[in-house]
Homo-oligomer: A and B are copies of this chain.
């Protein structure tokens, strides 16, 4: 058996101050990605979870070296991501999710999700990980956590091109918003995936 480090041994990020300032200086609703990144930083600082956004995949074609210390990329292109944007570890489980915003007030269109993101979430579930989507209806100012299995089931139904707001409200879990963290989404994860424990 492996000896895990104790909480005491975990690194301290000189952080509570930093993220509190960030929250005070910035108005809320900076966009879903910012909200999730800030929430993940808070969860990291408080040792509640270890979840990160993956870097955007970029194909580097040409690099210059204007001086010995720095490489300057002068030609590169964005690549289509082959996985979701966020993953990490929480309560012993692998967590994997994608975040999407829509201005639509009545539905979430499936064209917002890449097919390979659906495939990736399938693989995550098959391996026993926890997978979901965080969907924000910007016009309604509501953000939901929706289980990946439910998304996949509907996505693969050829008669459906979208999920209605009503269905998301019924099958998803409304994420509480606040100052720190901006999105209390791990409370929804606790409620949806760890309730029986």
The contact string, 1 if C-beta is below 8 Å from chain B, for chain A 61-91, is 0000000001111111111001100011111
A124 touches B89 (CB 8 A): yes
A126 touches B58 (CB 8 A): no
A91-B57 CB under 8 A given contacts A47-B123, A149-B5 = no
Q: Is A56 an interface residue (CB 8 A)?
A: yes
Q: Give the contacting residue for A73; candidates B75, B96, B124; CB below 8 A.
A: B75
What residues of chain B lie closer than 8 Å to A193, measured between beta carbons? 2
How far, in whole Å, are A162 and B151 apart by their CA atoms in the complex?
48
How far, in whole Å, are A196 and B1 apart by their CA atoms in the complex?
9
Nearest first, the 9 A-B pairs at minimum CB distance are A92-B128, A94-B94, A89-B129, A89-B127, A55-B57, A89-B94, A73-B76, A11-B119, A50-B123
The chain A residues found within 8 Å of chain B, CB to CB, are: 1-5, 7, 9-11, 44, 47, 49-50, 52, 54-58, 60, 70-79, 82-83, 87-96, 119-120, 122-129, 147, 149, 152, 193, 196
